[in-house]
Amino acid sequence: MATTDKASPRDRLLDAAAELFYHDGVSIGVEALCRTAGVSKRSMYQLFDSKDEVLAASLERRAPGYAARLIPGPDDAGTPRERILYVFEQAERASTEPAYMGCPFLAALVELKDPDHPASVVARTAKESLQEAFRAQAELGGAQDPALLARQLMLVFDGASARAGTKVETLDDGLTTRTVTVLLDAAGMR
Protein backbone atom coordinates (compact mmCIF):
# COMPACT_ATOMS: atom_id res chain seq x y z
CA MET A 1 0.00 0.00 0.00
CA ALA A 2 1.31 3.41 -0.90
CA THR A 3 0.94 5.84 1.95
CA THR A 4 1.31 9.56 1.55
CA ASP A 5 3.74 11.41 3.78
CA LYS A 6 1.21 14.25 3.94
CA ALA A 7 -1.54 12.04 5.39
CA SER A 8 -1.96 12.17 9.14
CA PRO A 9 -1.06 9.08 11.20
CA ARG A 10 -4.79 8.58 11.85
CA ASP A 11 -5.60 8.67 8.13
CA ARG A 12 -2.71 6.33 7.33
CA LEU A 13 -3.96 3.88 9.95
CA LEU A 14 -7.51 4.00 8.62
CA ASP A 15 -6.33 3.58 5.03
CA ALA A 16 -4.11 0.64 5.97
CA ALA A 17 -6.89 -0.90 8.04
CA ALA A 18 -9.41 -0.61 5.22
CA GLU A 19 -7.04 -2.29 2.78
CA LEU A 20 -5.66 -4.99 5.09
CA PHE A 21 -8.94 -5.96 6.71
CA TYR A 22 -10.68 -6.11 3.32
CA HIS A 23 -8.03 -8.22 1.60
CA ASP A 24 -6.63 -10.27 4.48
CA GLY A 25 -9.38 -10.34 7.09
CA VAL A 26 -9.88 -8.86 10.52
CA SER A 27 -7.31 -11.12 12.18
CA ILE A 28 -4.45 -8.92 10.91
CA GLY A 29 -2.20 -8.09 13.83
CA VAL A 30 -1.44 -4.65 15.21
CA GLU A 31 2.19 -4.89 14.11
CA ALA A 32 1.26 -5.55 10.48
CA LEU A 33 -1.30 -2.76 10.58
CA CYS A 34 1.17 -0.25 12.02
CA ARG A 35 3.97 -1.34 9.67
CA THR A 36 1.72 -0.91 6.62
CA ALA A 37 0.52 2.48 7.87
CA GLY A 38 4.04 3.63 8.76
CA VAL A 39 2.86 4.42 12.28
CA SER A 40 4.27 3.20 15.59
CA LYS A 41 2.14 1.05 17.88
CA ARG A 42 2.46 3.76 20.48
CA SER A 43 0.99 6.30 18.06
CA MET A 44 -1.83 3.92 17.17
CA TYR A 45 -2.76 3.48 20.82
CA GLN A 46 -2.64 7.24 21.34
CA LEU A 47 -5.18 7.62 18.54
CA PHE A 48 -7.34 4.54 19.18
CA ASP A 49 -8.04 2.43 22.24
CA SER A 50 -7.71 -0.84 20.32
CA LYS A 51 -7.38 -2.52 16.95
CA ASP A 52 -11.14 -3.13 17.16
CA GLU A 53 -11.69 0.62 17.30
CA VAL A 54 -9.42 1.10 14.25
CA LEU A 55 -11.47 -1.48 12.34
CA ALA A 56 -14.75 0.18 13.32
CA ALA A 57 -13.45 3.64 12.37
CA SER A 58 -12.14 2.39 9.03
CA LEU A 59 -15.51 0.84 8.17
CA GLU A 60 -17.35 3.96 9.29
CA ARG A 61 -15.13 6.14 7.10
CA ARG A 62 -15.64 3.78 4.15
CA ALA A 63 -19.46 3.63 4.37
CA PRO A 64 -20.37 6.91 2.61
CA GLY A 65 -18.13 6.25 -0.39
CA TYR A 66 -19.32 2.66 -0.68
CA ALA A 67 -22.96 3.77 -0.63
CA ALA A 68 -22.28 6.56 -3.14
CA ARG A 69 -20.88 4.03 -5.62
CA LEU A 70 -23.93 1.76 -5.26
CA ILE A 71 -26.94 3.98 -4.77
CA PRO A 72 -28.03 6.56 -7.33
CA GLY A 73 -27.96 10.10 -6.01
CA PRO A 74 -31.12 12.03 -5.15
CA ASP A 75 -30.92 14.02 -8.38
CA ASP A 76 -30.38 10.97 -10.60
CA ALA A 77 -33.37 10.22 -12.78
CA GLY A 78 -35.06 6.90 -12.88
CA THR A 79 -38.05 5.05 -11.62
CA PRO A 80 -37.84 3.31 -8.25
CA ARG A 81 -37.46 0.03 -10.15
CA GLU A 82 -34.54 1.44 -12.18
CA ARG A 83 -32.94 2.81 -9.02
CA ILE A 84 -33.02 -0.62 -7.38
CA LEU A 85 -31.65 -2.32 -10.49
CA TYR A 86 -28.89 0.30 -10.62
CA VAL A 87 -27.55 -0.96 -7.27
CA PHE A 88 -27.23 -4.47 -8.63
CA GLU A 89 -25.69 -3.26 -11.89
CA GLN A 90 -23.06 -1.42 -9.86
CA ALA A 91 -22.42 -4.54 -7.75
CA GLU A 92 -22.02 -6.61 -10.90
CA ARG A 93 -19.59 -4.05 -12.32
CA ALA A 94 -17.55 -3.93 -9.10
CA SER A 95 -17.35 -7.72 -8.97
CA THR A 96 -15.32 -7.77 -12.19
CA GLU A 97 -12.49 -5.78 -10.62
CA PRO A 98 -9.50 -8.02 -9.79
CA ALA A 99 -9.28 -6.77 -6.19
CA TYR A 100 -12.99 -7.37 -5.50
CA MET A 101 -13.52 -9.37 -2.30
CA GLY A 102 -17.24 -8.77 -1.80
CA CYS A 103 -19.03 -6.35 0.48
CA PRO A 104 -16.61 -5.17 3.19
CA PHE A 105 -19.44 -4.79 5.69
CA LEU A 106 -20.77 -8.29 5.16
CA ALA A 107 -17.22 -9.65 5.39
CA ALA A 108 -16.70 -7.92 8.74
CA LEU A 109 -19.99 -9.25 10.11
CA VAL A 110 -19.22 -12.79 9.02
CA GLU A 111 -15.66 -12.76 10.31
CA LEU A 112 -16.36 -11.11 13.64
CA LYS A 113 -19.46 -13.12 14.58
CA ASP A 114 -19.90 -10.82 17.59
CA PRO A 115 -22.91 -8.52 17.16
CA ASP A 116 -21.61 -6.24 19.91
CA HIS A 117 -18.15 -5.74 18.41
CA PRO A 118 -17.73 -2.05 17.49
CA ALA A 119 -17.04 -2.93 13.84
CA SER A 120 -20.09 -5.20 13.74
CA VAL A 121 -22.24 -2.31 14.90
CA VAL A 122 -20.86 -0.08 12.11
CA ALA A 123 -21.21 -2.85 9.50
CA ARG A 124 -24.76 -3.67 10.55
CA THR A 125 -25.69 0.02 10.32
CA ALA A 126 -24.33 0.15 6.76
CA LYS A 127 -26.31 -2.97 5.81
CA GLU A 128 -29.48 -1.60 7.42
CA SER A 129 -29.02 1.64 5.50
CA LEU A 130 -28.94 -0.23 2.19
CA GLN A 131 -32.00 -2.25 3.19
CA GLU A 132 -33.84 0.95 4.08
CA ALA A 133 -32.91 2.45 0.69
CA PHE A 134 -34.38 -0.64 -0.97
CA ARG A 135 -37.53 -0.40 1.18
CA ALA A 136 -38.03 3.27 0.37
CA GLN A 137 -37.71 2.66 -3.37
CA ALA A 138 -39.99 -0.39 -3.15
CA GLU A 139 -42.62 1.72 -1.43
CA LEU A 140 -42.32 4.48 -4.03
CA GLY A 141 -42.60 1.87 -6.77
CA GLY A 142 -45.81 0.37 -5.40
CA ALA A 143 -44.45 -2.95 -4.14
CA GLN A 144 -47.09 -5.02 -2.37
CA ASP A 145 -44.87 -5.50 0.71
CA PRO A 146 -41.92 -3.06 0.58
CA ALA A 147 -40.29 -4.37 3.77
CA LEU A 148 -40.37 -7.97 2.57
CA LEU A 149 -39.02 -7.00 -0.84
CA ALA A 150 -36.18 -5.05 0.81
CA ARG A 151 -35.24 -8.13 2.84
CA GLN A 152 -35.31 -10.29 -0.28
CA LEU A 153 -33.13 -7.80 -2.14
CA MET A 154 -30.62 -7.86 0.72
CA LEU A 155 -30.46 -11.65 0.51
CA VAL A 156 -29.66 -11.41 -3.19
CA PHE A 157 -27.17 -8.59 -2.66
CA ASP A 158 -25.33 -10.27 0.20
CA GLY A 159 -25.44 -13.71 -1.38
CA ALA A 160 -24.11 -12.39 -4.68
CA SER A 161 -21.46 -10.36 -2.88
CA ALA A 162 -20.30 -13.34 -0.84
CA ARG A 163 -20.22 -15.72 -3.79
CA ALA A 164 -18.45 -13.25 -6.09
CA GLY A 165 -16.09 -12.11 -3.33
CA THR A 166 -14.95 -15.69 -2.74
CA LYS A 167 -14.66 -16.26 -6.51
CA VAL A 168 -17.29 -19.02 -6.39
CA GLU A 169 -19.55 -17.11 -8.77
CA THR A 170 -19.12 -14.39 -11.35
CA LEU A 171 -21.66 -11.61 -11.70
CA ASP A 172 -20.59 -10.31 -15.08
CA ASP A 173 -23.42 -12.13 -16.87
CA GLY A 174 -26.26 -10.16 -15.27
CA LEU A 175 -27.32 -12.99 -12.95
CA THR A 176 -28.21 -10.67 -10.07
CA THR A 177 -30.11 -8.14 -12.16
CA ARG A 178 -32.13 -10.94 -13.77
CA THR A 179 -32.87 -12.40 -10.34
CA VAL A 180 -33.85 -9.00 -8.95
CA THR A 181 -36.09 -8.35 -11.96
CA VAL A 182 -38.06 -11.50 -11.10
CA LEU A 183 -38.43 -10.30 -7.48
CA LEU A 184 -39.51 -6.82 -8.59
CA ASP A 185 -42.10 -8.28 -10.98
CA ALA A 186 -43.45 -10.61 -8.31
CA ALA A 187 -43.73 -7.70 -5.86
CA GLY A 188 -45.68 -5.59 -8.37
CA MET A 189 -42.94 -2.97 -8.69
CA ARG A 190 -43.33 -0.34 -11.37
Written in H, E and C, the secondary structure of the chain is CCCCCCCCHHHHHHHHHHHHHHHHCCCCCHHHHHHHHCCCHHHHHHHCCCHHHHHHHHHHHHHHHHHHHHCCCCCCCCCHHHHHHHHHHHHHHHHCCCCCCCCHHHHHHHHHCCCCCHHHHHHHHHHHHHHHHHHHHHHHCCCCCHHHHHHHHHHHHHHHHHHHHCCCCCCCCCHHHHHHHHHHHHCCCC
**Residue-by-residue pLDDT tens, the chain, 190 positions:** 444 457 899 999 999 999 999 999 999 999 999 999 999 999 999 999 999 999 999 999 999 999 999 999 877 879 999 999 999 999 999 999 999 999 999 999 999 999 999 999 999 999 999 999 999 999 999 999 999 999 999 999 999 999 999 999 989 899 999 999 999 999 999 8
Domains of the chain: 59-186 (1.10.357.10)
Q: Record the pTM.
A: 0.91
